[in-house]
Amino acid sequence: MKTKILVTGADGQLAKTIKELYVKNSDNLQFDFVNKKELDITNFKEVSTFFSKNEFDYCINCAAYTNVEQAEESTELAFKINAEAVKHLATVCNEKNIILFHISTDYVFDGKKNTPYSETDITNPINQYGKSKLKGEQYIKEILKEHYIIRTSWLYSSFGKNFVKTIANKVKENADLKVTTSETGTPTSCIDLAKVIYELITVKKVPYGTYHFSNEGEGSWFDFAKQIAIQFKEYNLNQLQSVDFFKTKALRPKYSVLSKNKIKLHLKEPIKKWEKSVVEILSGKSLLNK
């Protein structure tokens, strides 16, 4: 009997990556993908009705409000999607005995540390996006025992709008670029994150709770941009300049590297360095090695 999995946020880059990797390459898992039009998770009645009509073993919540800047002004909407909708999912999953995977963020921390954050470190988000994501986490912990909260950072993929695609397109246009060095974190490939989620589902022995996952290593947004730019040999790297400060509406944690020590105890393979995963995405080889 196949394990049935609902994936919300079907139009987002993580859900699309899961679909690309596993829909045709997993005999024992059956995936259903829904976008906002097919299931509005901010509407509790709609969520309850949908789950009553369909049976699932797992729900992977990839739906989120991710515009960090706009969240400062559209705070109510950010909390509606990142917190209240998560509460709806947790409530229904609890009623139906469904295991919930929820994707959270390094932005639940304030960035005042200078060593990687562990799952037990005190949360203290400094922007509305981070606050809304933390509230979603809190709802899950209050309502549902059978959950996995996975905090990740600086996600990118070959799908949708993300930093890698934006910088790569600018480089192809031979544009001059200025990128900040004021924040340190870890770029994370959606492919590597999707593989971890798949492993946690198929292994079925990993304790419930909160886990951190990103690629290995750390760097600034400038380091990230440089790693992208050097893959295009015709681009003059002198056109890429670092800046100490970049004015934004939302405060950002200066250091938000995540410790992976907890999740490493349950993974079969070593976690890839972030630089390598960037190269794989840009070379187009990343989805071939499944």
Q: Name the active-site residue from 107, 129, 139, 235.
A: 129
State the greatest distance between any 2 C-alpha atoms of the chain, in Å, as a whole number: 58
Contacts for 106 with CB less than 8 Å, ≥ 6 apart: 117, 151, 152, 153, 154, 185, 214, 253, 256, 257, 258
Verify whether residue 129 is a known catalytic residue.
Answer: yes
- Report the distance separating Cα 108 and Cα 111, nearest Å: 9
Quick count: other Cβ atoms within 10 Å of Cβ 191?
Answer: 24
Quick count: other Cβ atoms within 10 Å of Cβ 8?
Answer: 24
Q: Give how far Cα 133 sits from Cα of 87, 102, 137, 138, 261, Å.
A: 11, 10, 6, 9, 22
Find out whether 106 and 149 touch, Cβ atoms under 8 Å. Answer: no
φ, ψ of residue 4 to 5 degrees: the values are -100, 130
Give Cα 41 distance to the centre of its chain.
18
- Report the distance separating Cα 289 and Cα 270, nearest Å: 15
Give Cα 169 distance to the centre of its chain.
22
Kindly state the DSSP code that residue 257 receives in the 8-state scheme: P
Q: What is the DSSP string of 204-220?
A: --SPSEEEE---BS-EE
Residue type, 57: D
Length of the chain: 290
- Please list the active-site residues: 129
